[in-house]
A and B are shown apart, each in its own frame.
Chain A
Amino acid sequence: MTTHEGIGAAVKRKEDRRFLLGKGNYVDDMVLPNQTYAVFVRSMYAHAKLKGVDTAAAKAAPGVVGVFTGDDIAADGLGGLPCGWLIKSKDGSNMIEPPHPALAQGKVRHVGDPIAMVIATSKAAAKAAAGLVAVDYDALPAIGVVADAVKPGAALVHDEAAGNLCFDWHIGDLAATDAAIAKAAHVVELDLTNNRLAPNAIEPRAAIGVYDLAADHHTLYTTSQNPHVIRLLMGAFTLHVPEHKLRVVAPDVGGGFGSKIFHYAEELMVTWAARKVDRPVKWTADRSEAFLSDAHGRDHISHATMAFDAGGKIVGLKVRTLANLGAYLSTFGSSVPTYLYATLLSGPYDMPVIYAEVQAAFTNTVPVDAYRGAGRPEAAYLLERIMDKAARQMGIDRIELRRRNLIQPEQFPYQTAVALQYDIGNYQATLELALQQIDYAGYDKRKAASAAKGKLRGFGISTYIEACGIAPSAIAGALGARAGLYEAANVRVNPTGSVTIFTGTHSHGQGHETTFAQIVADKLGVSVDNVDVVHGDTDRILFGMGTYGSRSAAVGGSALIKALDKVIDKGKKIAAHLLEASAGDIEFKDGNYRVIGTDKVKAFGEIAFTAYVPHNYPIETLEPGLEESAYYDPKNFTFPGGCHLVEVEVDPETGVPEVVEVAIADDVGTIINPMIVDGQAHGGLAQGIGQALYEEVRYDAEGQLTNGSFMDYCMPRAADLPNFKVGNHVTACTHNPTGVKGVGECGAIGVPPAVINAIIDALIPLGVTDLSMPATPEKIWRAIQAAKAAPRAAKKGA
């Protein structure tokens, strides 16, 4: 096989050339004939009644071709933005799903909630006219932070959601968990907050709507991770046009990290308005607008209780979490703090009983939904923080405590107490590899060297697991998903033997144009240069559920392998005819069909040509052509995991932390391209360190966003991060044909608790035992001062 290009090879990326030459094709790069420009008038209040929206002056402004409000879309019967996952509360009732109109109707519920859409012949004219829309607000009390949402007498974000609760959900066995905690030798408790983040792909969202009057057909160009999902939601729920009258194209997309999964108001509005004004309508977010309209991530407050026996073995875990959903349910907002979070609370540990309850609340903030990791970072952060606290409380070395509790290799498949069944893993191997990578044996020397510079060095560990390869449709459906979660692929072998494949996944940085070509190269023995990968266009690709949850290679790659197997099988029948043998006697290897045990051979290219020029061909029994499609529905989730280690130096005078070492060992399953896998880990680590040290979306109590720009929200920069040591120990996924588990999110999941554990470790000598994310210099400095001021007795509780 062409092993230099196939699975496992660090092939340079095929997609790079156009990006390097400045020839990428992002939505904002597109200019369509007769194009107009849309600007949205957005709420400046977190919560207000809309007494009136006067558009007369805007409509009369130069260049304006249309101004629309909530009344206009209501009159046209546009549907509200739907939520794709139904959660049922403890009492069996459905979650509360308040309407989410694309333009506000009657009330606004967060700063940035769109009120009116102004369309003009230039962006400048649209902006100027937007300033003329007069909105008469009647301000209402607002909920800016989630803790306030559930206080007695809190203002209601939606009248139908009493106590601001969308749902009150649980999983696991309460009685058994309480019993285990009651008789445990050690009980450890921890309160913690998972800070709210802005995904901040560097490309802001953009969309262009086009309407073809003659064909009564809509096209939407949009910055999406899953164009077919957007078409499905628009067809069925919001725009109400049949799929064959709607094409959704996601061309080059400049990063997503989850934030470009969801169906947003703006993409519905440009598509609808293009018909209204009979011209293409383009909208591009500026960064400030992105902060006010892209779904945010995380934002949990939790209390955890973990119980141990006398030997330090976990006997039970109980978790109570309050999750912020924002002002409206985003597309997958309800699934993130439930099935993507609490089902992961066993982590990589053998835990007999778990109980978790999650209250999800509405607030007057931007909707919260999946952001890189989506629920799993929240679970890993909780577990790894409380494991470290438990180690200190019980006087057990933190690495030893993990060794005692990790699921053993022979325990797989391992059924957790929270629904998931892990198929395979080797958490001991990744732990040991990570310790080697960071040179744990040399840690004391490094700590002494730091001390000699006046710095406090700390060591932090996190052993984590995630669930990826989303998802078996039947299981997801039973848990409330309103869609199937399979993937589709189409393989077209061209007459001269080159191959074009069509995948329902979408690449916005992940390098699918290379890795999917490598799968083809590996299976068919053709060069990656002879493989073209097409994605991101509902008119060209049969179907697909898109890219999120580290699913593309595990699910989309599996669909591709199924289709390639069909191609190979058909080729065997053609080869059998040409070689005058039975198809059962033909083997396909290294790009050649061979009669087993003979030198009778036909190359793949000859078979492809014969399929399209069927002069000598079994035409009575076999159709010409060589093109196959496949759908793949996963049998289970996949379970990547590993160990992330961090060393920090903290300046005790200023509180400034510096991450000086990051060494990780992950098990992401079979590796298609190690260069790309490492790159995915690097990016996740940067976002994870960003969460731990720098990033937090801040709302004040009145619901005003106080850091909605790159001037105010601290994005990690090159000088803020170290080099990363990335290792892998592979156990292949047992239930999909690729063996892949997924790599997109591991860094963002594993590293935040390792960073915080390292900082606390550094500060333990000063009496600091707790810190929240982001651990800014100010927060660390204050923690140091508070510990210094505390009476000595209090410090012994560490």
Chain B
Amino acid sequence: MATIKLQVNRQAQTLECASTTLLVEALRDHLRLTGTHVGCDTSQCGACTVHVDGKSVKSCTMLAVEADGAEIMTIEGLASGGELHPMQAAFREHHGLQCGFCTPGMIMSATDLCKRVPDPSEHEVRHWLEGNLCRCTGYHNIVKAVRAGAAGMRGGK
């Protein structure tokens, strides 16, 4: 067992977990942050995407002990005071989600993209989301939502 200290959604957390525990397991099972989902076992689907020190990471590809000392942001930490983050609001506005299972990963991935590329083209959005699978939407409305979310983030809304 290892002891790790993390900032998760702006709160300090200390965890006791096995050295084999994945970051996604630490978040879901230890901290009960179940908004981060698991859709595969080969790091393809991206449903478990979170931010580690500000960058999007598939939390199934990282051991919890590797995240010791890191700042983690999950989907639960994105909204403030119940008000949706601009990317979350854009997904609702543009019907960028159906069953909702891939959505947290999509949004965490998209917000990272828009920090790097404030006004991404459709082509850039489609290629950035290469690591996030959705089976419901055909991506059409996700792409629209991400570009609208980018505009919202630029506007500071």
Q: Are B101 and A717 in contact (CB under 8 A)?
A: no
Interface of chain B residues 124 through 145 with chain A (CB within 8 A) = 125-127, 129-130, 132-143
Q: Which of B18, B32, B99 contacts A201 (CB 8 A)?
A: B99
Q: Complex formed: what's the CA distance from A13 to B99 in Å?
A: 11
Q: Are B138 and A255 in contact (CB under 8 A)?
A: no
Q: Are B92 and A17 in contact (CB under 8 A)?
A: yes
Task: Decide if B44 is an interface residue (CB 8 Å cutoff).
Answer: yes
Q: Are B140 and A719 in contact (CB under 8 A)?
A: no
> Which residues from chain A contact B95 at a C-beta distance below 8 Å?
12-13, 675-676, 678-679
A1-40 interface bits toward B, Cβ cutoff 8 Å, 1 = contact, 0 = none: 0000000000011011111111110101101000000000
**Chain B residue with Cβ nearest A22:** B35
Q: Are A682 and B135 in contact (CB under 8 A)?
A: no
Q: Are B98 and A510 in contact (CB under 8 A)?
A: yes
Interface of chain A residues 582 through 596 with chain B (CB within 8 A) = none
Q: Complex formed: what's the CA distance from A682 to B140 in Å?
A: 7
Q: Which of B51-59, B63-71, B72-80 contacts A (4 or more CB under 8 A)?
A: B72-80
**Chain A residue with Cβ nearest B39:** A202
Q: Are B135 and A687 in contact (CB under 8 A)?
A: yes
Q: Which of A19, A288, A710 contacts B100 (CB 8 A)?
A: A19
> Which residues from chain B contact A510 at a C-beta distance below 8 Å?
98
> Which residues from chain B contact A22 at a C-beta distance below 8 Å?
33-36, 74-76, 78, 104
Known contacts: A26-B101, A675-B95. The answer to whether A202 contacts B45 by CB under 8 A is: yes
> Which residues from chain B contact A717 at a C-beta distance below 8 Å?
129-130, 133, 139
> Which residues from chain B contact A21 at a C-beta distance below 8 Å?
35, 75-76, 79, 84, 88
Q: Which of B18, B39, B102, B140 contacts A723 (CB 8 A)?
A: B140
Task: Decide if A557 is an interface residue (CB 8 Å cutoff).
Answer: no
Known contacts: A13-B92, A20-B88, A723-B140. The answer to whether A203 contacts B39 by CB under 8 A is: yes
A596-612 interface bits toward B, Cβ cutoff 8 Å, 1 = contact, 0 = none: 00000000000000000
> Which residues from chain B contact A724 at a C-beta distance below 8 Å?
138, 140
Q: Which of A12, A124, A682, A723 contacts B137 (CB 8 A)?
A: A682
Interface of chain A residues 185 through 210 with chain B (CB within 8 A) = 200-204
Q: Which of B45, B91, B107, B127 contacts A719 (CB 8 A)?
A: B127
* Minimum Cβ distance to chain B for residue A203 (Å): 4
> Which residues from chain A contact B20 at a C-beta distance below 8 Å?
124
Known contacts: A19-B97, A682-B137, A718-B142. The answer to whether A28 contacts B130 by CB under 8 A is: no
Q: Are A255 and B101 in contact (CB under 8 A)?
A: yes
Task: Decide if A511 is an interface residue (CB 8 Å cutoff).
Answer: yes
> Which residues from chain B contact A711 at a C-beta distance below 8 Å?
42, 44
Known contacts: A20-B91, A202-B102, A683-B98. The answer to whether A721 contacts B76 by CB under 8 A is: no
A232-253 interface bits toward B, Cβ cutoff 8 Å, 1 = contact, 0 = none: 0000000000000000000011
Q: Complex formed: what's the CA distance from A719 to B42 in Å?
A: 20
* Minimum Cβ distance to chain B for residue A30 (Å): 8
* Minimum Cβ distance to chain A for residue B96 (Å): 9
Task: Decide if A101 is an interface residue (CB 8 Å cutoff).
Answer: no
Q: Classify chain B's interface size.
A: 35 or more
* Minimum Cβ distance to chain A for residue B82 (Å): 8
Q: Are B100 and A254 in contact (CB under 8 A)?
A: yes
Q: Are B35 and A715 in contact (CB under 8 A)?
A: no
Task: Decide if A257 is an interface residue (CB 8 Å cutoff).
Answer: yes
* Minimum Cβ distance to chain A for residue B120 (Å): 12
Task: Decide if B40 is an interface residue (CB 8 Å cutoff).
Answer: yes
Q: Which of B44, B74, B99, B143 contacts A710 (CB 8 A)?
A: B44
> Which residues from chain A contact B98 at a C-beta distance below 8 Å?
255, 509-511, 679, 683
> Which residues from chain B contact A719 at a C-beta distance below 8 Å?
126-127, 129-130
* Minimum Cβ distance to chain B for residue A414 (Å): 31
Q: Complex formed: what's the CA distance from A23 to B28 in Å?
A: 12
Q: Are B84 and A20 in contact (CB under 8 A)?
A: yes
Q: Are B135 and A715 in contact (CB under 8 A)?
A: yes
Task: Decide if B103 is an interface residue (CB 8 Å cutoff).
Answer: yes
Task: Decide if B38 is an interface residue (CB 8 Å cutoff).
Answer: yes
* Minimum Cβ distance to chain B for residue A125 (Å): 11
7 A-B pairs with least C-beta separation? A22-B35, A19-B100, A254-B101, A686-B138, A509-B99, A22-B75, A710-B44
Excluding A255-B98, A715-B133, A718-B127, 12 further A-B contacts by CB distance (< 8 Å) are A19-B100, A21-B35, A22-B33, A22-B104, A201-B99, A286-B38, A287-B41, A508-B99, A682-B137, A682-B138, A683-B98, A709-B44
Residues of B in contact with A (beta carbons under 8 Å apart): 18, 20, 28, 32-42, 44-45, 47, 74-76, 78-79, 84, 88, 91-93, 95, 97-104, 107, 122, 125-127, 129-130, 132-143
The contact sample of 22 A-B pairs, CB cut-off 8 A, is A12-B93, A13-B95, A20-B92, A21-B88, A22-B33, A22-B34, A23-B76, A26-B34, A29-B28, A124-B20, A202-B45, A202-B133, A204-B38, A287-B45, A511-B98, A679-B136, A682-B138, A686-B137, A709-B40, A710-B40, A719-B126, A719-B129
Residues of A in contact with B (beta carbons under 8 Å apart): 12-13, 15-24, 26, 28-29, 31, 124, 200-204, 252-255, 257, 286-288, 508-511, 675-676, 678-679, 682-687, 709-711, 715-719, 721, 723-724, 747
